[in-house]
Structure 1
Amino acid sequence: MPTVTVIDGVRVFTGYGLTEPQRVYVEGTSIAATGTPDLVVDGTGKVLLPGLIDSHIHVLGRADLENLAKWGVTTGLDMAAWPLPFVADMRAQTGVAQILSATTPAVGPGGNHAKMPGFPGDGIVTTPQEARAFVERRIADGADYIKIVTEAAPPAGMDQQTVNAIVDTAHEHGRIVVAHSVTTGAFRVAVGAGVDISTHAPLDAVLDDDTVQRMRDAGMVSSPTLTMMRGIATARAAAGLRYEYARDTVTKFHEAGIRLLVGTDANSAAGVPFAPKHGVSLHDELGLMAEAGLTPVEALRGATTLTSQTFGLDDRGTIEPGKRADLLLVDGDPTTDVTATRDIVGVWINGERVH
């Protein structure tokens, strides 16, 4: 029989606030409605959250997944990884954060991504015909979603027709499309193509009202990765990049009612302009989202329920019977002070407590 763990006297984050103190049952790998406890954890004065989901990470090895788990991030959405055997190995890791992956992203021939050492040649896309073939390869690879890098114009980026073809083909296969966009021009390309999610926020100017309106009307979602944008702007201030542009764009997104997810672009790669640390950076991101105008509850929802809904992760993101037992127990009330997510008492992944 599976072990039954009870977290007793704990308030539970619902996505909109906290419950009164109650008992939460974990039976095996899932949340249960009731049970005979084998182990009781005292949750008095504490808050239980669904395991946090980082909507934008990059993984280079198990240590990255361990660091995510240590900080209560139980799921990470990887936005670029190769080769396929490595992706399969990372997906198969147990006792650490679980990942999904875009596998290889689509990039233009002249951008920085195409010049990365070891970047797969089949990720460089120049025509609509190549775009369709690219998506077919990613589907065959088992990509959970499609990632593209948009630039304002060729030769650094793909032209509008090519980006459109990627999005259209991905949607034909039932995959959502995530677009890396760090300038206002790149945002307009992504919006014009009808991508589902924009990741990052512009550093060259605050995004204009018309583009924000088009995003809202299309139901686009944003994962702005303010942690990364702040780091890049600091490293490249001489180039005129300003973090305030990204922050104020997020404020506009929030005021417009655009869905905002919490993501960091955490990575451990050498030679990058900035490398947010896996796990802890998500707590930084929650704070930056609050500074951009989100309430603590809205920020927490963007790291739990909204991300699970956006990416179709129906087995997680909320605490209710039948859901996967990915849990974060904290001391304090993060719905009034979001920094309380750092006061970690316990983390469970798929019902197994992380030590």
Structure 2
Amino acid sequence: MCVNEWIRRDFAMPAAVAGTAVATASAPVAAVARARARRIPAPRVALTNVRVFDGNGLTGPRTVVIDHGVIGLSAVGARKVDCGGAVLLPGLIDSHVHVRDMTALDALAAHGVTTALDMASFPAGALTPLRGIPGLTDLRSAGTPAVAPGSPQSGLPTFPQSGVVIGPEQADAFVAARLAEHADHIKIIVDDSGLDQATVTALTEAAQRLGRLVMAHATTATAVDRALTAGVDMIHHVPLDAPVTAATAARYVRGATAAVPTLTMMEGFAGLGVPGHAYASARAGVAALHKAGALILAGTDANATPGIPVHPPFGASLHRELELLVDAGLSTVEALRAATASPARAFRLYDRGAIRPGNRADLVLVDGDPVADIRATRAVQRVWIGGVAHS
């Protein structure tokens, strides 16, 4: 894997070099308007005869009520839908995507992904038209990432110069600019030859002082070390050049740093045959993190960026990610939590991730038992997002 290609894939917007990124993200305005108008939540629906994933396993058959967009308490007067013993999961959460249009949101929703954490978008406001559309995936974004001078993304025509950080003295200004653009979290590109330790640390501290979570892009062992030293909240990707060691995994735990391995993407890049990069290293790294007790979140790096050799498909790739996490040592229950309760807690989205009264009615009905076989998550029957049935 070429590091420059990786960076360009991870943060260049579709057709950004041609200067069409804004249009890609914000264009079909009419389609967005139609989507907002046609998806009205049913007042009250009672899903009967469902087995609920409660974070530990499956319950016996019971009733779950959708009451004006949230999980309700009483089924009295609700329209009843017999689900025939199917399994009801909390809406799935993909902790690493690169969304640019409604097509991506629709694909995510169709596969049961009801919340997606976008890990870079620019210029400012590119994703605003895609937020809050009833019945489509709820989208949060980092906005412009912090990058080093001379980095590949810093030279893109659409890349804001406010994202280029020369040294630690610019950390406060960078974070202030992202907050002014309503970024939900802060992203820092941590590369071997990129931002130095002092700058990564200053950016992390500036963001955390203002209550923002810090995401670090780190694809090598050296970059992971720098991110951990800075005290970031989450590290995205897992090295292909060498497995995460037991000592490094212990540092994740001590610092309460979550891991978003994006195994689906790592599998794809490892398959390109680049010398020195092997999927076995990524898989072993996740196994070490799991053994140490690190918090592991399911993220795919789903994207449709032209010119990049690996495009995990929106929605479907999250199911592959769950399978790869299980293959790396997580139990099926742990994998399901990695796409539900764990990211909800890690990203401070306390109104989702579990099926309980008062939470958003983000729900996925599947045919089969994903606790027995994680592949059952692929058999999506119906999806509700904020109480709105996706169609």
Task: Please say whether Structure 1 and Structure 2 have the same fold, judged by a TM-score greater than 0.5.
Answer: yes
Three-state SS of the structure 1 residue aligned to 2:271 is helix
Among 221, 224, 229, the alignment partner of 2:258 is: 221
Report whether the alignment pairs 1:273 with 2:309: yes
Amino acid at match of 1:78: D
Three-state SS of the structure 1 residue aligned to 2:298 is coil
Among 118, 132, 141, the alignment partner of 1:101 is: 141
Q: Which residue of 1 aligns with 2:84?
A: 44
**Is contact 1:201-1:225 (8 Å) kept?**
yes
Structure 1 gaps, min length 5: none
Identity of aligned pairs, percent? 45
Report whether the alignment pairs 1:203 with 2:243: no
Amino acid at match of 2:378: R
Q: CA deviation at 1:87?
A: 2.0
Among 17, 26, 48, the alignment partner of 1:8 is: 48
**Is contact 2:125-2:181 (8 Å) kept?**
no
Q: Which residue of 2 aligns with 1:322?
A: 358
**TM-score when normalising by structure 1:** 0.96
- Give, in whole Å, the separation in 1 of the partners of 2:52 and 2:269: 36
- Shift in alpha-carbon separation, 1:117–1:268, aligned structure 2, 3 A: farther
Report whether the alignment pairs 1:30 with 2:67: no
Report whether the alignment pairs 1:285 with 2:325: no
**TM-score when normalising by structure 2:** 0.87
**Is contact 2:123-2:159 (8 Å) kept?**
no
Q: CA deviation at 1:38?
A: 4.1
Three-state SS of the structure 2 residue aligned to 1:20 is strand
- Give, in whole Å, the separation in 1 of the partners of 2:283 and 2:151: 25
- Give, in whole Å, the separation in 2 of the partners of 1:115 and 1:227: 28
Q: Deviations over 1:294-321 (max 9, x none)?
A: 0110000000000000001011111011
Three-state SS of the structure 2 residue aligned to 1:329 is strand
- Shift in alpha-carbon separation, 1:231–1:112, aligned structure 2, 3 A: farther
Q: Which residue of 1 aligns with 2:19?
A: none
- Give, in whole Å, the separation in 1 of the partners of 2:217 and 2:354: 28
Structure 2 gaps, min length 5: 1-40
Q: Which residue of 1 aligns with 2:95?
A: 55
**Is contact 1:62-1:93 (8 Å) kept?**
no
Q: Deviations over 1:49-72 (max 9, x none)?
A: 000000000111111100000000
Q: CA deviation at 1:45?
A: 2.3
Q: CA deviation at 1:40?
A: 1.9
- Give, in whole Å, the separation in 1 of the partners of 2:134 and 2:125: 16
- Give, in whole Å, the separation in 1 of the partners of 2:305 and 2:88: 33
- Give, in whole Å, the separation in 1 of the partners of 2:289 and 2:233: 15
**Is contact 1:80-1:147 (8 Å) kept?**
yes
- Give, in whole Å, the separation in 2 of the partners of 1:231 and 1:109: 29
Amino acid at match of 1:254: H
Q: Which residue of 1 aligns with 2:274?
A: 238
Amino acid at match of 2:302: A
Q: Name the count of aligned residue pairs.
A: 351
